[in-house]
Amino acid sequence: MSEKELYDVLAELGLTKYEAQAFVTLCKSGPMKADKLSTLSRVPSSWIHSVLKSLVDKGLVESEGSWPKTYRAVPIRTILPELEKKLKEKLKRSRRLLLSLEKAGEQKGEPIRALLFVGESLFQRLKEYIQSSNRLIAIVNRSDEEVLSLVKQKENVKLELRDHGVTALATRESVFVVFRVGKERLGLGALVFSRRLSKLVEREFQA
């Protein structure tokens, strides 16, 4: 497996770029303290502690000793069952949301109109969508850092963070769904104009 393929897999498992760099470095180089890990993994020192905390919370890294702590990667074979479980849950949620979109389109009396965005145009359209909304419900995958940053700048937002699944933003009239592709956290997005789908996202938020 090439390094690119490795990072693509880690991104699909929900790791951010910095989390993946830190985790791979610990796997290859063994236990170390945060300052050394920052240097070897090329994760900025201002980010390394929050990155390590996230990896510990995800069960991928363990810490030991008093300050400064030593960090080690959890053996891959130990965490594989949990990773497989999370992947299945992610696929299940994505499938449910996509099927709900299909069902919404089948409802009579409400024509469905959708726009697709990729790359930089997706980020720009997301920014406009969030800033122009008067009422926004946001179910955000924690790894979608760009989306989360935009949402937190907005007032009157109902926000829920999740460790897996797609990111979905909803107003009363439409839904913006964001899919990550490989390492690109903003790979593909669909803006769907549907009141019924918007209500489905709101029910998912309350679930």
pLDDT tens digits along 39-95: 998 989 888 898 998 889 888 888 887 788 899 888 888 877 777 777 677 667 666
Residue 108: is its pLDDT beyond 80?
A: no
The DSSP bridge partners found for residue 160 are 139
pLDDT surpassing 60 at residue 173: yes
Question: What per-residue confidence (pLDDT) applies to 183?
Answer: 43
Task: Out of 17-26, 73-82, 98-107, 141-150, pick the least confident.
Answer: 98-107
Residue 110: its H or E element: none
Domains and CATH numbers, the chain: 3-74 (1.10.10.10), 91-206 (3.30.870)
Residue 143: is its pLDDT beyond 50?
yes
Q: What is the mean pLDDT of residues 189-207?
A: 71
Residue 86 DSSP label: H
With cut-offs at 50, 70 and 90, classify the pLDDT of residue 36.
very high
SS3 134: coil
- Give this prediction's pTM: 0.47
Q: At what angle do helices 17-29 and 34-41 cross, to 10 degrees?
A: 110
